[in-house]
């Protein structure tokens, strides 16, 4: 059991990190923070524009800096970007500063959930399914490396997933500093 003041959700795009996180944050009295949204708010532009101007390496440097800033706080439910685990320093920071939940979703489910989403730079290609499979092959072992708990969201809607995950968290996460 990893006692921690923060709850951190990792996983691929379309796994439900923000939607499920919103519900869990309310239940646990945590402040929901979406790392990608914070990067956009801080820079005043979209992730797609950052990718276009600075490339993925530029975005990853901004992501690393944002995670370092955000995880100085306690009482967060942090929804990370799908690629946050690519950086070894990020993985160490996530492990040190929170209870990490890997939300799992298959590429087929991701495709379904993201079918109308055109905002994701890494999916701005005609071979979206192949891209998702490639990312899963690279990232899934990294999600597993940092995770205190893995949870499948594939067949669940956000409300049902949050309810079931809450049950699992109540069994596995000892929140330090909790007032509840």
* Feature table: binding site for ATP: 14-19, 120
Angstrom distance (rounded) from CA 7 to CA 174: 11
Residues 6+ apart with CB under 8 A from 105: 11, 12, 14, 15, 16, 113, 152, 153, 154
Angstrom distance (rounded) from CA 120 to CA 54: 15
Beginning with the edge strand found earlier in the chain, give each strand of the sheet holding 31-34 in spatial order: 31-34, 76-79, 7-10, 99-104, 149-152
Residues 6+ apart with CB under 8 A from 27: 162, 166
Binding site for substrate: residue ranges?
36, 60, 82, 139
Binding site for Mg(2+): residue ranges?
18
- Look at residues 13, 36, 1 and name the one whose alpha carbon lies nearest to residue 135: 13
Binding site: residue ranges?
14-19, 36, 60, 82, 120, 139
């Amino acid at each position: 059991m990893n006692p921690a003041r923060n709850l951190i959700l990792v996983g691929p795009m379309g796994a439900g990190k923000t939607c499920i996180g919103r519900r869990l944050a309310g239940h646990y009295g945590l402040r929901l923070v979406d790392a990608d949204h914070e990067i956009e708010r801080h820079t005043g532009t979209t992730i797609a524009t950052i990718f276009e101007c600075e490339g993925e390496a530029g975005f990853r440097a901004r992501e690393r800096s944002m995670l370092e800033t955000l995880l100085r706080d306690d009482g967060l439910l942090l929804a990370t970007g799908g690629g946050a685990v690519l950086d070894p320093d990020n993985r160490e920071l996530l492990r040190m500063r929170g209870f990490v939940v890997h939300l799992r979703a298959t590429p087929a489910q991701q495709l379904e959930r993201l079918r109308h989403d055109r905002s994701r730079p890494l999916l701005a290609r005609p071979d979206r399914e192949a891209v998702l499979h490639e990312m899963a092959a690279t990232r899934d072992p990294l999600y597993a490396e940092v995770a205190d708990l893995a949870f499948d969201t594939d067949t669940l809607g956000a409300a049902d997933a949050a309810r079931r995950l809450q049950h699992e968290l109540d069994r596995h996460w000892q929140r330090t500093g909790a007032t509840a």
